[in-house]
Amino acid sequence: MRAVIQRVTQAQVEVDGEITGQIDNGLLVFLSVGQGDTEADVQFMADKLINLRIFSDENDKMNLSVRDIGGSILMISQFTLHGDCRKGRRPGFDQAADPDTARRLYELTVELVCQQQVQCQTGVFAAHMHVSSLNDGPVTFLLDSTRLF
């Protein structure tokens, strides 16, 4: 699994002109499921998202997690994070999981985050979405469950 994680002061996602998810302080997470990803990758990703200390403490050090600040997560499924642009001019998506597997593991990630008492809003899986955010910092991280980066 791969994720782009952005610390935000607000974010929202719209599908067909309707807001399907909206948060204030927290994390905007773009999540992609790759071929071979399993529930172990889901566990890793959910734990990281909840506990990654990227919010400032009283000394302005990144020392607090989204759980610590009582923040929320807006999680958006984005298979293009597994796009391969190394050859030619059109990305290849051979490394992305099939849609059924991707949906199941994406939804399981959302479920595990919610089970840890962190509010998690979502977009609509496989829909064309409009995502807007106010990045705080800006602070953006890349995460890969295989620890590629």
- Which alpha helices (H) appear in the chain, and where do they start and end? 39-51, 99-115
Q: Which of 30, 44, 55, 79 is catalytic?
A: 79
Q: Identify whether 125 is a catalytic site residue.
A: no
Options 6, 12, 55, 78, the catalytic residue: 78
Helix (H) or strand (E) holding 36: none
Q: 78 catalytic, yes or no?
A: yes
**Catalytic status, residue 109:** no
CA dist 8 and 71 (Å) reads 10
- Strand segments, DSSP code E, in the chain are 2-15, 18-23, 26-32, 55-56, 62-64, 72-77, 120-122, 130-144
Query: Which residue of the set 80, 115, 140, 146 is catalytic?
Result: 80
Query: What amino acid positions are annotated as catalytic residues?
Result: 78-80
